[in-house]
Structure 1
Amino acid sequence: MTVDALVPLTCGWLTLPTAFFIVGEPDELTVPVPAYLIDHPNGRVLFDAGLGPRFRRPTGTPVEGWVDLESDACVDERLRALGVDPTSIRYLVNSHLHSDHAGGNTFVPDATVVVQRAEWDFAHVSDDFAYHTPEFDTGQDVMLVEGHFDLFGDGSVRLIPTPGHTPGHQSALVRTPTGDVVLTGDACNLKQSMDEMRLPDHAHDDALYRQSLQTLRSLRDQGASVFYGHDPVFWATLNPSSEAG
């Protein structure tokens, strides 16, 4: 079984030290904040939701600081631009619950949030500023999974535990009409990360991060296309008209 379509969405931009993505690298890097719409015969899925309302600014106004989120880049507006009602999303799969991946959860209010139990539990007790509880604990229905999980039971959207960046990080293996695609989330920020097996300058667990990166690299070696989590060069090949504001 394959999904009907996989559509990448640009839901904001971040400008951070490059070492945030690959340890030891100098300077800064402006990176996309992705989300993905997955059309399946049994319901629409959103993988990650981008940045949320607390970072939103009116479209066309100047960027201030390291977060760039124009109103029309919020995931609900991205969906509407495709003719998709945000309330029609059946499942929202969060790779993890940091603000650039779960901040937009509130924009798809009727979706059931699918997250690893380890991530859900950790996010509620962590003092990491990247977690903002009101953004992910919104009162939406939550499906807590543990380990590998076949979302529709037909092999088309398979969730893969890829801990390391956070305790309960997960990636997704999506079977599309043109082949398997791996949505890495922050388990692999840049193509260079996988090519050189290099970690960011911060992780919850370096050893687990390295193992997860190897898992994803093995899928690439087996022929899957890898969609790297925050790679601006790769992203331009998916969304050639997209650019930071």
Structure 2
Amino acid sequence: MTHGHARRLWALDSPTLTVQSETLLYGTSGEVTIPCPSYLIEHQRGLVLFDTGLHPDAITDPERIYGADLVPLLGIGGSEDQRLDNQITALGYKLSDVTHVISSHGHFDHTGGLFLFPEAKHFFGEGELRYANWPDPIQSFVYRQEVLDVIRRLDTREVVGDLDLFGDGAITILATPGHSPGEVSLAVRLPSRTFLLTGDAIHLRAQMEQEYHFPIDADTKTALRSLRRLKNLRESMGATVWISHDPEDWAEFVHAPGFYE
């Protein structure tokens, strides 16, 4: 097994959601503002994007994108320069330079920009797309028909188990189901450090430490197994966990145009 490295990792600045904290973690109260980032990773064999966040137009016209019923629950915040397409072009890339797009899962706040990458290879975890088309009622609002319509037009593949994306250990898709059936995380090995990007397998630092599940996980027992798997991998790989929606992680780590390499 060769041990390669990705060259560079950017956390793309993102719009935010402001939600009731008890929707993220039992026993909490009040509002919390959470980021919805995407991560761009440069590898010698391709330009990889992990998650595509909210629909870019939702920043300025949320009701047209998500409807009058859902928008008041989301508290979308952000500016034009936080659009995913603007973030990528600001780094000097064209959208068509992105070769691989990995969706942690199919929820609307992680798949809103999929339509921007019609030529890329798209990756989903095992069982995600079937569930997205027929979700349990508690999760039906987070899967959007317009996203499913986009996915049908893309070059998609379902990842069974883990997948070493380029066969060199640099970028590994990790099966971490539970939040949704096909939830995946991403291990990114850089020359200086290794990150575990957790998607929604973990939502907040407190959830990771207390091993509480997310209130509307599709499968609670499986979600807790995945959370423990990530904690074990953090230790064995000497990795840094980056929880996508956690505001403390977002405050601590560097965002684009800053990067890790």
In structure 2, the residue matched to 1:132 is: 144
Q: Which residue of 2 aligns with 1:61?
A: none
Alpha-carbon distance, 1:18 to partner: 0.8
For residues 95 and 21 of structure 1, what CA distance do their matches in structure 2 show?
17
Shift of 1:239: 3.9
Does the residue aligned with 1:68 lie in a helix, a strand or coil?
A: coil
What's the CA shift string for 1:94-139, capped at 9, x where partnerless? 0001011011111223221111230011112225110113224421
5+ long unaligned stretches in structure 2: 62-70
CA displacement, residues 116-165 of structure 1 (integer Å, 9 cap, x when unaligned)? 23001111222511011322442121122111111111111111111111
Tell me the amino acid that sits aligned with residue 107 of structure 1: L
1:39 pairs with 2:39? no
Q: 1:219 aligns with which of 215, 223, 233?
A: 233
Q: TM-score, normalised by structure 1?
A: 0.91
Q: Deviations over 1:51-109 (max 9, x none)?
A: 01452307xxxxx7412243321211110111111111000000001011011111223
Q: TM-score, normalised by structure 2?
A: 0.85
Q: How high is the sequence identity, in percent, across the aligned residues?
A: 34
The counterpart of 1:116, out of the listed 125, 131, 147, is: 125
Q: Contact 2:126/2:160 (CA < 8 Å) preserved in 1?
A: yes
- Larger strand share, 1 or 2: 1
User: What's the secondary structure of 1:186's corresponding residue?
Assistant: coil
Contact conserved, 1:182 with 1:227, CA < 8 A, in 2?
A: yes
Whichever structure has more helix as a proportion of its residues is 2
Q: What residue in structure 2 maps to residue 7 of structure 1?
A: 10
Question: Contact conserved, 1:52 with 1:135, CA < 8 A, in 2?
Answer: no
Q: Tell me the residue number matched to 1:188.
A: 202
CA distance in 1, matches of 2:256, 2:92: 19
The residue aligned with 2:19 is 16
Q: Deviations over 1:218-238 (max 9, x none)?
A: 122221110012111110122
CA distance 1:241–1:144, shift in 2 (3 Å): closer
1:162 aligns with 2:165: no
SS at match of 1:19: helix
Instruction: Report if the CA contact (8 A) 1:123-1:133 is conserved.
Output: no
* C-alpha separation in 1, matches of 2:92 and 2:5: 22
Residues 10 and 255 of structure 2 are in contact (CA less than 8 Å); yes or no, is this contact kept in structure 1? no
The match for 2:247 among 219, 223, 232 is 232
Q: Report how many residues are paired.
A: 237
The more displaced of 72-81 and 133-142 is 133-142
Q: Provide the rounded CA distance (Å) in 2 between the counterparts of 1:137 and 1:88.
A: 23
Q: Which amino acid aligns with 2:109?
A: D
Q: Give secondary structure in 1 for the equivalent of 2:18.
A: strand
| CA displacement 1:26-75 (0-9 Å, x = unmatched) | 111000001100100000000000101452307xxxxx741224332121
Greater RCO (CA < 8 Å, at least 6 residues apart): 2
